Amino acid sequence: MTTTDRASAAERLIESTRELLWERGYVGTSPKAIQQRSGVGQGSMYHHFDGKPDLALAAISRTAAELRTKGEAQLDAPGTALDRITAYLRRERDVLKGCPVGRLTQDPEVMADPTLRRPVEETFDWLRGRFTDLLAEGRAAGEFTPALDPAATAATIVAVLQGGYVLARAADETAPFTAAVDGVLGLLAAAGPTAERRS
């Protein structure tokens, strides 16, 4: 097997595990299912990875990194803080499949393993931090009322986003997710610089 073939096998294993974790969760992602999805044999799988936890960590870490990269495309773009938050919340998603990172929090085996849980925690810490910084930037620029608490509001945005996925999956339609996003953006718009004068 050439170096390219070995790299290709490892890539197929990681990508197949990512797909299966999103579809079935950790418990439902068996080594056999990974091998069938990837077309990679058992010997090759254990040549590249120590076992299912090692492969799952590679898959979860890649999913988390991809989410950050996609997120930064909106959060680092030109525009006001609200423009960038809006772009992030309204970007195209496969809503009914749920958040590929958020869904892992419902998996007891992932949450019980500090190593597997770490990229999940780090992703949410990153997202809350990015929203906190943006909201603080917007408040400093006079875009939001001084009464707005950036950290608490950032936590609210993340909670609404994840809750929107849950509501959409429960209803088997995207409308609840869209409504949740519309609601939190409406609250942010209402926290504009005239909010204190209205109160």
Q: Residue 198 pLDDT > 90, yes or no? A: no
What pLDDT, on a 0 to 100 scale, did the predictor assign at position 180?
98
* Mean per-residue pLDDT, 113-129: 96
* Residue 197 pLDDT > 80: no
What does the pLDDT read at residue 47?
A: 84
User: What is the phi/psi pair of residue 91, to 5°?
Assistant: -65, 160
| φ/ψ bin of 120: left (φ > 0), alpha (ψ from -120 to 50), beta (otherwise) | alpha
- When the pLDDT of each residue in the chain is averaged and rounded to a whole number, the result is 90
* Position 110 pLDDT exceeds 50: yes
User: Is the pLDDT confidence value at 25 over 90?
Assistant: no
**By percentage, how much of the chain surpasses pLDDT 90?**
73
Residue 5 — pLDDT band, cuts 50, 70, 90? low
Percent of the chain at pLDDT > 70 equals 93
> pLDDT for 168-186, tens place per residue?
999 999 999 999 999 999 9
State the pLDDT at residue 48. Answer: 86
Q: What is the dihedral of CA 189, 171, 105, 26, to 10 degrees?
A: -150
pLDDT digits (tens, 9 = 90+) for 123-177: 999 999 999 999 999 999 999 999 999 999 999 999 999 999 999 999 999 999 9
Q: How far apart are CA 30 and CA 35, in angstroms?
A: 9
The per-residue pLDDT for 188 is: 96
pLDDT of res. 3:
44
Domains and CATH numbers, the chain: 3-198 (1.10.357.10)
**pLDDT beyond 90 at 92:** yes
Indicate if the pLDDT at residue 195 is higher than 60: no
- Quote the pLDDT of residue 6: 54
Dist CA 115 CA 132 (whole Å): 26
Q: Are 138 and 116 in contact (CB under 8 A)?
A: no
